[in-house]
Amino acid sequence: MDSAPSTASPSVATGDPDGVACPADGTALTVYYDGACPVCTREIGLYRGQRGAESVRWVDASTCDADALGPGLDRPRALARLHVRRPDGTLVDGAGAFAAMWRALPAWSVLGRLAGVAPVRRVLDLAYDGFLRVRPMWRAAPSALPAVLVADLRTDHAGETGAVRIYRGVLAVSRDPAVRAFAERHLETEARHLREIEAVLPPGRRSRLLPAWRAAGWLTGALPALFGARAVHATIEAVETFVDRHYAEQLARIDALDPAGADARLQSLRTLLDACRRDEVEHRDEAADAFARAGRGAGPLLRLWARTVGAGSVAAVAVCRRV
């Protein structure tokens, strides 16, 4: 029941009733489902009305805090398909998750035991994967959000796409071990941001200029890498200074739209964007510290480049909000 098919992470055994152990949280059983999917929500509603459902913890992965997902499970994977965490902390997904959930409900326990039989489980997994291919037609899209926030998410997706390419551009050119370690750490974070934003912004809502943003990002990383560590760090500081301000503006918009913090969907989005902003601030500060440790100020060419990068970011956002 949750978005397009995905490859299970190493910490989740797809359809495997044995799963992979994660720390237990003391709950009898935890079911993670996508509350933004009407079909999934109706099915979960059926199960929640059954005897035994009171002993199960039901978590809507589309609106919960990231911490509620527990170890070994991030939001994109939780939204991609049904997951269940057993009392011992084991995570299972797909048919294995359905089998575990059904066995916890007396009226469904026979079906749960049957679903645990290997041939039956394989058939169920095939049927579930087929459902996941058509599920995006029903899943609630960000159109349920105010148009201004959909536009914000489009700029965020394009920006994180560009950020991934910036660090790949740095890694393609630089042979400085410290610069490469810096880029590799930040690339991992930006790739995670991109996955998280893709989980809430369907392909049809993304910028149609993504190839241009990828190319621009790669050049923004590769060109300064030709001139050494100081140029790379100055570039990242300029980019992240803009990104900090951009995310802060979005948080302020959400606060204005939901001053009481009562809209779970908006607050879930706010949590995501604020976490991204804090990561970007850390990137900016790390780059600024590295630049300062070099012991020389920025020359006129480097200052011009940093201003160009900042102005280019502003222009890209303006275009991306519309295209």
Average pLDDT, the chain: 85
Distant-in-sequence, close-in-space partners of 60: CB < 8 Å, separation ≥ 6: 33, 34, 35
Question: How far is CA 11 from each of CA 30, 98, 194, rounded to the nearest angstrom?
Answer: 16, 18, 20
Q: How deeply is 174 buried, as exposed, middle or buried, from its count of CB atoms within 10 A (0-12, 13-18, 19+)?
A: buried
- pTM of this prediction? 0.60
Give the pLDDT band (50/70/90) at residue 283: very high
> Domain limits of the chain?
13-137, 142-320
Which segment of 85-99, 140-154, 172-186, 221-235 scores lowest on mean pLDDT? 140-154
Give the pLDDT band (50/70/90) at residue 140: low
- pLDDT one-digit tens code per residue, 218-258: 999 999 999 999 999 999 999 999 999 999 999 999 999 99
Handedness of CA 57, 60, 66, 69 (dihedral sign): positive
Distant-in-sequence, close-in-space partners of 236: CB < 8 Å, separation ≥ 6: 166, 186, 283, 284, 287
pLDDT given for residue 21 in this prediction: 35
SS3 of 60, please? Answer: strand
Distant-in-sequence, close-in-space partners of 52: CB < 8 Å, separation ≥ 6: 104, 105, 106, 107
pLDDT given for residue 243 in this prediction: 95
pLDDT given for residue 130 in this prediction: 84
241: left (phi over 0), alpha (psi -120 to 50) or beta: alpha
| Rounded distance between C-alpha atoms, residue 194 and residue 167, angstroms | 13
Q: Which residue has the higher pLDDT, 129 or 273?
A: 273
How would you classify the pairing of strands 56-60 and 29-33? parallel
pLDDT given for residue 125 in this prediction: 87
| Cα 140 from chain centre | 17
Confidence check: pLDDT of 201 > 90: no
| Rounded distance between C-alpha atoms, residue 149 and residue 201, angstroms | 11
pLDDT given for residue 24 in this prediction: 40
Q: How deeply is 224 buried, as exposed, middle or buried, from its count of CB atoms within 10 A (0-12, 13-18, 19+)?
A: buried
Give the pLDDT band (50/70/90) at residue 137: low
DSSP conformation class of 86: -
| Rounded distance between C-alpha atoms, residue 229 and residue 161, angstroms | 23
Give the pLDDT band (50/70/90) at residue 14: very low
3: left (phi over 0), alpha (psi -120 to 50) or beta: beta
Helix axis angle, 177-198 to 264-293, nearest 10°: 170
Confidence check: pLDDT of 168 > 80: yes
Nearest to 75 by CA among 60, 96, 97: 60
CATH number given to 142-320: 1.20.1260
Token code pair at residue 41? 């929500």
Distant-in-sequence, close-in-space partners of 1: CB < 8 Å, separation ≥ 6: 33, 34, 37, 39, 40, 43, 44, 81, 82, 131, 135
The position carrying tokens 């200029």 is 209
- pLDDT one-digit tens code per residue, 65-99: 888 888 889 888 888 889 999 998 899 998 899 99
DSSP conformation class of 108: G
Give the pLDDT band (50/70/90) at residue 139: low
Which range, 73-77, 151-155, 299-303, is most confident?
Answer: 151-155
Give the pLDDT band (50/70/90) at residue 142: low
Confidence check: pLDDT of 144 > 80: no
The residues facing 59 across adjacent strands are 32
- pLDDT one-digit tens code per residue, 19-56: 333 334 445 899 999 887 778 888 899 999 899 999 99
- pLDDT one-digit tens code per residue, 47-73: 998 999 999 999 988 888 888 888 889
pLDDT given for residue 200 in this prediction: 85
